[in-house]
């Protein structure tokens, strides 16, 4: 499994090297990309949590209404 990851990273570094970028810049770009993806995933989790909370609170409000 470590070999697979290493070959994947080597492929990324080779692509960046072909474009004239150093290994340090390639690592920074990959890091920024990973942080951006993590941010989007965290927003997705927060959105789902808000949706579930909305449905739970809606049910509580419907059940708590006074009947006349």
Please give the full DSSP string across 16-54, using - where no structure is assigned: HHHTT--HHHHHHHHHHHHHHHHHHHHHHHHHHHHHHHH
What does pTM read for this prediction?
0.63
The interaxial angle of helices 23-64 and 2-18, nearest 10 deg, is 120
Tokens coding 42: 């965290």
The tens digit of pLDDT for each residue in 43-55 reads 999 999 999 999 9
pLDDT (average), residues 21-40: 90
Q: What are phi and psi of 19, to 5 degrees?
A: -90, 0
pLDDT of 32 above 70:
yes
Domain boundary assignment for the chain: 2-64
Q: What is the pLDDT of residue 47?
A: 97
Q: Say how many residues make up the chain.
A: 68
Q: What is the pLDDT of residue 68?
A: 64
């Amino acid at each position: 499994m470590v070999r697979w990851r290493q070959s994947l990273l080597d492929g990324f570094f080779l692509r960046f090297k072909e474009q004239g970028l150093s290994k340090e810049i390639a690592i920074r770009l990959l890091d920024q990309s990973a942080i951006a993806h993590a941010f989007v995933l965290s927003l997705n989790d927060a959105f789902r949590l808000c949706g579930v909370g909305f449905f739970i609170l809606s049910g509580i409000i419907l059940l708590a209404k006074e009947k006349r």
